[in-house]
């Protein structure tokens, strides 16, 4: 699950990780009020930042500096409600519905920092680079030596030697005027960030830029941007994090599917699929592609689905206007074929299905299931195998187009 930058920074702040002062705003008036409050707190300038679940906002025009309080309003008017296109949103862009107003803290140095769940090493690893602000994927391709990968032993957690390695790689100890103070800041920053990452079951945490701001004794290490993804399977133990989910940023079909505990992912093709078991779902998508079709979704109804759940799954598929034909491919093991047939018949009647429907059933209670479909009076094309079904549904889709 993803959250917004302002929510990530609130978590940073609560964990004792330094961030600039900032206030979220949902309207232009709130943005101006937020800037006034920040000014009363000593802010000289402001940053108006679009809040969407995608990076690259700066380049896309979603992050603007206001030198004075007067400049905040026109910038907020411009950014709020805009369709922000970045390299991460795709060409269709994303509607900006929230803003974050921050105290301007011009960075002297911009670095890159992230914490990732490193599955190869079975631990949390830190990625860092002295070259922040830019696209890390690009840097990884062009100059991989400029990125440090630092695995952290889960049993030991963050240690001072990690901070020393990191400080020296980032060149932070080179500040001879106050080397120990900067080192202490970095150590506190990392120690707290690492603890938060583990405690909150994060899967990715990215700070780009991690910046040095302020002069002399006021020099500070701060997170100027913040992105966090959480392990969705761990949300049950973090109701506070679950509350941060912004439904308007999620795919509505995937949200609906989550309510019914269905494994569903929207795709770009036009053949709707209903399958049980993740492996069968993957091979179904492959075989559709093999015969020249494109799946519209990945949908695994699971092993213990009820007829009601199957009905909801079917409704989800048919709600997608891209879908031109449907392929139901079920291997009845724990899931019984007659339960699937019952769900398919109920759903088809409820939604008044007009699309071609190909059904392949195999396994427990298959005869009963086939009989129910044959006697339902519905226009269903039965398939004798997965191969036969895939061919038939691709042909039906082509005829329909």
Return the structure tokens found at 353. Answer: 């299905």
Residue ranges in 319-358 that form contacts with Mn ion under rule CB under 5 A: none
Residues that bind ligand GDP (CB under 6 A): 47, 55-58, 63, 65, 102, 104-107, 110, 133, 208-209, 224-225
Size of the site for Mn ion (CB under 5 A): 2
- Active-site residue flag, 141: no
Q: Minimal CA–CA distance to 43: which of 28, 23, 26?
A: 23
- Strands 325-332 and 357-363 turn out to be parallel
Supply the Cα-derived Rg of the chain in whole angstroms.
26
Residue of 206, 249, 312, 342 marked catalytic: 206
Residue 105 binds Mn ion, judged by CB under 5 A: no
CA distances for 362 relative to 257, 275, 336, 338, 394, angstroms: 25, 12, 9, 10, 20
Residue ranges in 32-71 that form contacts with Mn ion under rule CB under 5 A: none
- Work out which of 102, 103, 191, 225 binds Mn ion, going by CB under 5 A: 225
State the minimum distance, in angstroms, from the CB of residue 50 to Mn ion: 12
Binds 123: which of ligand GDP, Mn ion, none (CB < 5-8 Å by kind): none
State the minimum distance, in angstroms, from the CB of residue 84 to ligand GDP: 9
Tell me whether residue 105 or residue 339 sits nearer to ligand GDP (CB atom): 105
**How far apart (Å, rounded) are the C-alpha atoms in residues 261 and 258?**
5
CB atoms within 10 A of CB 153: 12
Binds 110: which of ligand GDP, Mn ion, none (CB < 5-8 Å by kind): ligand GDP
**How far apart (Å, rounded) are the C-alpha atoms in residues 161 and 211?**
21
Stretch that binds Mn ion, among 14-22, 218-226, 253-261, 371-379 (CB under 5 A): 218-226
CB distance 360 to 384 below 8 Å: yes
Stretch that binds Mn ion, among 136-144, 172-180, 206-214, 232-240 (CB under 5 A): 206-214
State the minimum distance, in angstroms, from the CB of residue 133 to ligand GDP: 4
Residue 203 binds Mn ion, judged by CB under 5 A: no
CB atoms within 10 A of CB 77: 13
Helix (H, G, I), strand (E, B) or coil at 112: strand
**How far apart (Å, rounded) are the C-alpha atoms in residues 316 and 323?**
11
CB distance 347 to 310 below 8 Å: yes
Residue 129 binds Mn ion, judged by CB under 5 A: no
State the minimum distance, in angstroms, from the CB of residue 63 to ligand GDP: 4
Say which residues have a Cβ less than 8 Å from residue 159's Cβ, sequence separation at least 6.
Answer: none
Tell me whether residue 225 or residue 312 sits nearer to Mn ion (CB atom): 225
Tell me whether residue 224 or residue 386 sits nearer to Mn ion (CB atom): 224
Tell me whether residue 208 or residue 284 sits nearer to Mn ion (CB atom): 208
Tell me whether residue 49 or residue 200 sits nearer to Mn ion (CB atom): 49
Residue 110 binds Mn ion, judged by CB under 5 A: no
Residue 5 binds Mn ion, judged by CB under 5 A: no
Binds 106: which of Mn ion, ligand GDP, none (CB < 5-8 Å by kind): ligand GDP
State the minimum distance, in angstroms, from the CB of residue 80 to ligand GDP: 16
* H-run or E-run covering 194: helix 179-199
CA atoms within 13 Å, Cβ hemisphere of 365: 15
State the minimum distance, in angstroms, from the CB of residue 135 to ligand GDP: 9
Return the structure tokens found at 67. Answer: 């030198």
Residue of 5, 112, 249, 312 marked catalytic: 112
- Strands 22-25 and 99-103 turn out to be antiparallel
Tell me whether residue 52 or residue 281 sits nearer to ligand GDP (CB atom): 52
- Active-site residue flag, 112: yes
State the minimum distance, in angstroms, from the CB of residue 154 to Mn ion: 28
**How far apart (Å, rounded) are the C-alpha atoms in residues 258 and 362?**
27
CB distance 28 to 96 below 8 Å: no
Which residues are identified as catalytic?
112, 206
Chain residues in the site for Mn ion (CB under 5 A): 208, 225
């Amino acid at each position: 699950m993803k959250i917004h930058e302002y929510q990530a920074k609130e978590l940073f702040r609560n964990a004792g990780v330094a961030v600039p002062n900032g206030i979220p705003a949902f309207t232009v008036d709130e943005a101006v009020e937020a800037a006034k409050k920040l000014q009363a707190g000593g802010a000289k300038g402001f940053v108006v930042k679009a809040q969407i679940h995608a990076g690259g906002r700066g380049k896309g025009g979603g992050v603007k500096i206001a030198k004075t309080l007067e400049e905040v309003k026109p910038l907020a008017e411009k950014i709020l409600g805009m369709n922000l296109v970045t390299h991460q949103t795709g060409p269709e862009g994303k509607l900006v519905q929230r803003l974050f107003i921050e105290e301007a803290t011009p960075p002297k140095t911009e670095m890159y920092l992230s914490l990732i769940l490193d599955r190869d090493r079975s631990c949390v690893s830190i990625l860092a680079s002295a070259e922040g602000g830019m696209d890390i994927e690009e840097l990884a391709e062009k100059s991989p030596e400029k990125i440090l990968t630092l695995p952290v032993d889960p049993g030991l957690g963050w240690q001072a030697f990690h901070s020393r390695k990191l400080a020296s790689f980032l060149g932070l100890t080179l500040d001879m005027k106050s080397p120990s103070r900067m080192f202490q800041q970095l150590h506190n920053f990392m120690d707290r960030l690492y603890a938060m990452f583990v405690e909150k079951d994060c899967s990715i945490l990215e700070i780009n830029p991690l910046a040095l701001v302020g002069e002399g004794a006021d020099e500070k290490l701060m997170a100027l941007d913040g992105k966090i993804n959480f392990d969705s399977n761990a949300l049950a133990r973090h109701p506070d994090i679950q509350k941060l989910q912004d439904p308007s940023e999620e795919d509505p079909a995937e949200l609906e599917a989550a309510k019914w505990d269905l494994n569903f992912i929207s795709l770009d093709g036009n053949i709707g699929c209903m399958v049980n078991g993740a492996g069968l779902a993957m091979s179904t998508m492959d075989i559709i592609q093999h015969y020249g079709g494109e799946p519209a979704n990945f949908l695994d109804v699971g092993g213990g689905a009820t007829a009601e759940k199957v009905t909801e799954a079917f409704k989800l598929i048919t709600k997608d206007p891209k879908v031109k034909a449907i392929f139901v491919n079920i291997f009845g093991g724990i899931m019984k074929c007659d339960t699937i047939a019952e769900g398919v018949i109920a759903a088809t009647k409820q939604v008044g299905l007009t699309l071609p429907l190909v059904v392949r059933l195999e396994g427990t209670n298959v005869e009963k299931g086939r009989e129910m479909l044959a006697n339902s009076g519905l226009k269903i094309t039965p398939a004798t195998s997965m191969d036969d079904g895939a061919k038939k549904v691709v042909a039906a889709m082509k005829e329909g187009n």
